């Protein structure tokens, strides 16, 4: 968790690792199809922690599952492109990849940690068997002994002692099970670890411990993390940059600090106002009026406009494109930012100045006061 | 403080551990059968027009406490007092009790019957308690209920089935159902944790409104200390079945007295935090089958002293209306004050008059 303030912008300027372009995912087909993900563009950079925030039904898990070709029926990828850049410089198109190719790159290039570690681990197999399974499948010439050594090493990385190798999942606490999942995900030194609500079911202290370990491991091994959660306040602390999804669309993406200090999309602003602060004066907060839309009956124009307190007339008719705005690689899909000068004050706060080129003194001062009112 | 509507005195609940009966092993005699010490000697008061938050991790006993207060389970020892009198026993009295103390559960997807519409759910309490006859009177009362939880127009909602409602609307129906009997106490067990982030505050604000408008005594159970700080007048922190700290909401979060409360606060997500928090007290809660002697937090506590293993710490004062069960607060014995600053940032308001706080909803 040690700060993204320094490393964030640099990392996000790293090379693209996973590029998602125009991805669309439906559940079902024909006129009954539910558009779970619509035209999403997202780039995960090498070594970056990219937070994907959104409420249930926003399409954040579907996006991750589709991009890694783990989507199950009745999910259908209807359009788009997902490109994985290998270390060697070669590029794979994941949506075109066949089963064999996918089997090779899963776990060794891209691995996945999901929320319910109890369900993800096999209850009748020991931790050792489950940890060595992936090794045996992907590295056939690895000896039994070295597989065991690697399993011990992996457990050590997540702070579990080797005498737990023989344990079964029910003998471990929830936090330990999730640690085992993380150890498994790292077994083949993947470049990308996708984590779908990895700590949601855990207590806050355990959650914090695991996140610390995770960021330390990222710093050591340099893998990129796509961290999916509904908890935006947590993402701001741990992620380098954050993408916010609403009703299957990406509405804003920016560095974590820029998103927190100076949100540009009304939904991001509303989400930030949905988490009460841990300190400072207690002020009434409203959350966001209404509730997330039914994906079968999406509003016309901008999908957020019925809940948006800044909505303009055109918002009901025209869907805003995801467009670059300001500095630092921010993109936002909102008519209020066309042009940015016309945006309401709440959505036009100065960038927090964490980018290298901003004059630090004034920007810091602004950031401090802005933060107080944002929380 | 005004007379509490509901009061718990030394509530203790031990659950027998299942010994896997039916496997052919002889059952252990009752005396030696292990028990889970789920709630241990908890006392608290719920005054009218007050939200009391119970904060704790899973397994801390907070839901068991709610069930004890709702009299869904009976305590191993200790007392529940309703308006100063011991809560009555017996089935009919049980119904009387339920007319005063109502519960709202965590999962509005499970607490409403998917086969019945909202009208059915809201008419049940009136029937069960014989409070309204079917017809115009009942319709009027149900419409009034829906208005009180801001589900309007009432007619449209009465005909809906749970699957036609959003999570937030479902939880509002569950709250409306609890309000039907005009209770004095609402026990809300994690009422917003299953809801989408953007609609949680709406439901929390509704609970705040009910406190202010209808003078309800509300117990708000949560694992989210930030939401407790937002809504509650008073916060009670539980750890491993014991009440470790209680006091005015902002006093507890801004000047925490117990090392466990400090740990919770340092672990909670906080976007304003600029440096990595120091977790003082890593690890996990102890087994409640064989809980440690003395203070149950001592194994994780950075300040543990010999006395912590010997005696359960009583509640020591830590400010106005603020107390903590920690030997560090025993000023008479001249023990060292807790080391290290509380994880409170600069710019905090000092904790002031209780009545002014949390009435912002």
What pLDDT, on a 0 to 100 scale, did the predictor assign at position B15?
A: 94
| pLDDT-derived band at A375, boundaries 50, 70, 90 | very low
Q: Long-range contacts: A159-162, Cβ < 8 Å, 24+? A: A159/A213
CA–CA min distance A56, chain B (Å): 7
pLDDT in tens, A35-79: 999 999 999 999 999 999 998 889 999 999 999 999 988 999 999
Distance from CA of B204 to the nearest CA of A (A): 10
> Tell me, what's the pLDDT at A118?
64
**Cα–Cα distance for residue pair B302/B214, rounded to 1 Å:** 44
| Assigned token pair, A209 | 């411990």
C-alpha to C-alpha distance for A133 and A187, rounded to whole angstroms: 10
Q: What is the pLDDT of residues A131-166, one digit of tens each?
A: 998 899 899 999 999 999 999 999 999 999 999 999
Q: At A222, list the tokens.
A: 């340099």
B57 touches chain A (CB under 8 A): yes
Query: DSSP code of A198?
Result: T
pLDDT in tens, A72-114: 889 999 999 999 998 888 899 999 999 999 998 998 999 999 8
Q: How far apart are CA A217 and CA A134, in angstroms?
A: 20
In this prediction, the residues of chain B whose per-residue pLDDT falls under 70 are 1, 19-32, 333-361
**pLDDT per residue over B136-161, tens digit each?**
999 999 999 999 999 988 888 999 99
Give the pLDDT confidence score for residue B343 in this predicted structure. 42
- Report residue A202's pLDDT band, with 50, 70 and 90 as the boundaries: confident
In the prediction, which pLDDT does B29 show? Answer: 62
List the one residue out of B306, B51, B294, B328 whose CA is nearest residue B187: B51
- A231-257 mean pLDDT: 95
Say how many C-beta atoms besides its own lie within 10 A of residue B239's C-beta: 27
Number of neighbours of residue B171 by Cβ within 10 angstroms: 30
pLDDT tier, A290 (very low <50, low <70, confident <90, very high otherwise): confident
Cβ contact (<8 Å) for B200 and A274?
yes
Cβ neighbours for B307, distance < 8 A, ≥ 6 positions apart: B294, B327
What pLDDT sits at residue B17? Answer: 82
Within 10 A of B158 (CB to CB), how many other CB atoms are there? 21
Closest CA to A231 of B263, B221, B269, B55: B269
Reported confidence tier of residue A294, pLDDT bands at 50, 70, 90? confident
User: What H or E segment, with its residue span, contains residue A39?
Assistant: strand A34-45
pLDDT of res. B348: 37
Question: For every residue of B115-137, which 3-state class applies, written as one string?
Answer: CCCHHHHHHHHHHHCCCCCCCHH
ipTM over 0.85: no
Residue A365 has pLDDT above 60, yes or no: no
Interface of B with A in 264-303 (CB under 8 A): 264-277, 279, 281-282, 284
Q: By the CB < 8 Å criterion, does B205 face chain A?
A: yes
Interface residue A129 vs chain B (CB under 8 A) = no
Which string of DSSP letters, residue by residue, matches A247-298? TTEEEEEEEHHHHHHS--SHHHHHHHTTS--SSS--------SS-PPPTTSP
pLDDT band for position A224 (cuts 50, 70, 90): very high
Rounded distance between C-alpha atoms, residue A192 and residue A213, angstroms:
16
pLDDT tens for each residue of B183-242: 999 999 999 998 888 889 999 999 999 999 999 999 999 999 999 999 999 999 999 999
| Beta strand extents in B249-331 (DSSP E only) | 316-319, 322-324
Token digits of residue B121:
């759910």
β A249-255/A323-324 pair status: unpaired
Is B198's CB within 8 Å of A55's CB?
Answer: yes
Exposure of A119 by Cβ count < 10 A (0-12 exposed, 13-18 middle, 19+ buried)? exposed
Rounded distance between C-alpha atoms, residue A247 and residue A261, angstroms: 24
C-alpha span between B20 and B79 (Å, rounded):
31
How far does the CA of residue B199 sit from the closest CA of chain A (Å)? 6
Q: What is the pLDDT of residue B23?
A: 53
Residue percentage of chain A with pLDDT more than 70: 90
């Amino acid at each position: 968790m040690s700060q993204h303030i320094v490393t964030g912008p640099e990392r996000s300027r790293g090379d693209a690792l996973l590029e998602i372009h125009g991805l669309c995912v439906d559940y079902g087909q024909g006129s009954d199809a539910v558009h779970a993900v619509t035209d999403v563009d997202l780039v995960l950079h090498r070594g970056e922690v990219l937070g994907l925030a959104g409420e249930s039904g926003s399409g954040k898990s579907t996006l991750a599952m589709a991009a890694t070709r783990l989507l199950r029926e009745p999910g259908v990828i209807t359009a788009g492109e997902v490109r994985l850049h290998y270390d060697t410089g070669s590029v794979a198109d994941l949506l075109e990849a066949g089963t064999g190719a996918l089997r090779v790159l899963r776990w060794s290039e891209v691995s996945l940690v999901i929320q319910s570690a109890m369900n993800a681990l096999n209850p009748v197999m020991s931790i050792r068997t489950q940890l060595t399974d992936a090794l045996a499948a992907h590295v056939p010439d690895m000896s039994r002994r070295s597989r065991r050594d690697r399993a011990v090493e992996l457990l050590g990385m997540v702070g579990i002692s080797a005498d737990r190798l023989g344990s079964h999942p029910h003998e471990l606490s929830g936090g330990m099970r999730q640690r085992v999942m993380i150890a498994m995900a790292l077994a083949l030194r993947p470049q990308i670890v996708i984590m779908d609500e990895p700590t949601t079911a855990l207590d806050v202290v355990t959650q914090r411990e695991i996140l610390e370990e995770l960021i330390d491991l990222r710093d050591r091994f340099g893998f990129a993390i796509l961290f999916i959660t509904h908890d935006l306040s947590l993402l701001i602390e741990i992620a380098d940059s954050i993408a916010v999804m609403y009703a299957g669309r990406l509405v804003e993406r920016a560095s974590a600090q820029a998103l927190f200090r100076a949100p540009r999309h009304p939904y991001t602003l509303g989400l930030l106002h949905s988490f009460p602060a841990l300190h400072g004066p207690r002020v009434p907060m409203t959350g966001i009026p209404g509730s997330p839309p039914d994906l079968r009956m999406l509003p016309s124009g901008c999908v957020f406009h019925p809940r948006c307190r800044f909505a303009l007339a055109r918002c009901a008719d025209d869907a805003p494109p995801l467009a670059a705005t300001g500095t630092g690689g921010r993109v936002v899909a909102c008519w209020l930012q066309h042009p940015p000068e016309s945006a309401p004050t709440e959505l036009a706060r100065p960038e927090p100045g964490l980018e290298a080129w901003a004059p630090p003194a004034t920007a810091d001062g602004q950031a401090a006061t802005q933060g107080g009112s944002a929380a | 403080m005004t007379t509490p509507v509901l009061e718990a005195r030394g509530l203790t609940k031990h659950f027998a551990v299942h010994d896997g009966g039916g496997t052919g092993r002889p059952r252990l005699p009752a005396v030696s059968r292990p028990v889970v010490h789920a709630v241990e000697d908890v006392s608290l008061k719920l005054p009218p027009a007050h939200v009391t938050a119970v904060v704790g991790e899973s397994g801390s006993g907070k839901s068991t406490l709610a069930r004890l207060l709702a009299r869904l389970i009976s305590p191993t020892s200790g007392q529940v007092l309703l308006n100063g009198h011991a809560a009555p026993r017996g089935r009919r009295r049980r119904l009387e009790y339920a007319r005063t103390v109502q519960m709202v559960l965590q999962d509005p997807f499970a607490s409403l019957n998917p086969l019945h519409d909202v009208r059915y759910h809201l008419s049940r309490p009136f029937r069960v308690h014989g409070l309204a006859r079917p017809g115009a009177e009942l319709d009027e009362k149900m419409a009034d209920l829906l208005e009180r939880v801001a589900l309007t127009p009432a007619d449209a909602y009465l005909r809906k089935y749970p699957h036609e409602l959003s999570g937030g609307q479902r939880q509002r129906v569950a709250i409306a159902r609890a309000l039907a009997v005009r209770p004095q106490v609402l026990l809300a067990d994690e009422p917003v944790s299953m809801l989408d982030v953007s609609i949680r505050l709406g439901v929390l604000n509704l609970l705040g409104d009910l406190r202010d408008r209808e003078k309800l005594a509300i117990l708000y159970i949560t694992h989210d200390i930030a939401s407790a700080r937002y809504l509650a007048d008073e916060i009670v922190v539980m750890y491993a079945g014991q009440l470790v700290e209680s006091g005015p909401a902002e006093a507890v979060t801004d000047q925490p007295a117990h090392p466990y409360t400090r740990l919770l606060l340092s672990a909670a997500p906080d976007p304003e935090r600029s440096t990595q928090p120091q977790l003082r007290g890593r690890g996990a809660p102890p087994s409640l089958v064989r809980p440690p002697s003395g203070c149950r937090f001592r194994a994780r506590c950075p300040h543990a002293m010999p006395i912590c293993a010997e005696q359960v710490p009583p509640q020591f004062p830590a400010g106005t209306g603020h107390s903590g069960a920690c030997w560090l607060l025993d000023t008479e014995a001249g023990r060292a004050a807790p080391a290290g600053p509380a994880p409170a940032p600069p710019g905090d308001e000092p904790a002031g008059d209780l009545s002014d706080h949390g009435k912002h909803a």
